[in-house]
Amino acid sequence: MTFRTIIYTCILSFLLSSCSNEQLKSLEALPTAIGSTNEIVIVADQNVWDGPVGDSLRYYFESPYLILPQPEPIFDLRHFTMEELQKEPLRKQLRTYMLLGDLQDDSSVASNEIKQDLRSENIRRAKEDNTFSSTAGRNKWANGQLLVYLFGYGQEALINNIRKNYPVIAQKVKNFDRSQIEASAYAMGENAVNTNKLKTDLGFSLKMPRDFKIAIEDGNFQWYRKETRSASCNIMLYKIPYTDKAQLSKEGIKNIRNELGKNYITTDIEGAYMRINDVDLPMFVENIKLNGQFGIEARGIWDIENDFMGGPFISYIVLNPKTNELIFMDGFVHAPGKEKRDFMQQLEFIFKSLKF
């Protein structure tokens, strides 16, 4: 060992011996966060989770995902107390957390954790300014981690803050999950051949996953399918001239989908065809902008006339102002007995890659 090495070793030993346990811990490499899309781990005291605050939280964050044949929540919630997190270190390595606390309760372990993370100036601000009731952080216990802090002074204030902050927090979590949804949708990569085929045949670009295979091609209509053991995921694409404003309406998008279902989607039973079922559940429609272009989005359920099949769908009709044409895009899933929310999110992600 050289003299220089001995000197460096002594200096390093001195520095490490001078560090506190917290400082040494901060030098350790953080693990990579793990966990599922749409999952939020709620960190709250047991009495908060079991009481009216927990009821309010579940009312908003576990509300039904629009629209599925059997109800599935927008988010999957898991609850741990701070004590439970401390007992099992792996529970600190999940992706998305919400720390929920009544800052008025000085005996609350969860609230004291929030106070420690937010620091005194933000705690003072929360007490004086009732509009400051939520904030976010990253990578507290693992890399690739989102933490949302939701707080209030008193349980009534906390309940009001849950209601007030739900839209912003929900969007923040959805944005955070986008990379995972994309990874699932394109797990096998992109099918460049089909992507280029759409440009040539229908005049627009859609990033098509490799595991979707073309099932029917008929002029301005194309149907792609992905078949797995658990589900059949489908994409219908159609181009038509824009002739009337009525095409960009609830009835317009319904007529197009029912027409395509009757012409192309059938089973082995004679007289069977796909249709929108807006009797058992309503079809929800709203105006949207998709990559800057005006369009209509519809969500609902489909079934097969004269047969026993059904599932959810999401449809878009978008105006291409350069060609004065309408692009109809539809994704539907058939997965009997399986949860369908994640499949629908992947289809929605694919459609949002639309470019003219």
pLDDT in tens, the chain (356 residues): 554 544 444 444 544 455 555 444 544 689 999 999 999 999 999 999 999 999 999 999 999 999 999 999 999 999 999 999 999 999 999 999 999 999 999 999 999 999 999 999 999 999 999 899 999 999 999 999 999 999 999 999 999 999 999 999 999 999 999 999 999 999 999 999 999 999 999 999 999 999 999 999 999 999 999 999 999 999 999 999 999 999 999 999 999 999 999 999 999 999 999 999 999 999 999 999 998 889 999 999 999 999 999 999 999 999 998 899 999 999 999 999 999 999 999 999 999 999 98
Could you count the other beta carbons within 10 Å of the beta carbon of residue 181?
18
Q: How far apart are CA 302 and CA 205, in angstroms?
A: 27
Q: How far apart are CA 202 and CA 267, in angstroms?
A: 27
Same fold, 16-184 and 187-351: no
- Amino acid (1-letter code) at residue 224: Y
Could you count the other beta carbons within 10 Å of the beta carbon of residue 171?
10
Q: How far apart are CA 247 and CA 326, in angstroms?
A: 9
What is the reported pLDDT for 340? 98
187-351 fold: Protein Transport Mog1p; Chain A (3.40.1000)
**Burial, 211: exposed, middle or buried (Cβ in 10 Å; 0-12, 13-18, 19+)?**
middle
- The pTM assigned to this predicted structure is 0.89
Helices in the chain by DSSP H: which ranges?
3-18, 21-27, 46-50, 52-61, 82-87, 109-128, 155-185, 192-202, 250-264, 341-351
What is the reported pLDDT for 11? 46
Tell me the domain boundaries of the chain.
16-184, 187-351
What is the reported pLDDT for 342? 97
Task: Give, to the nearest 10 degrees, the angle between helix 341-351 and helix 155-185.
Answer: 70
16-184 fold: Molybdenum Cofactor Biosythetic Enzyme; Chain A (3.40.980)
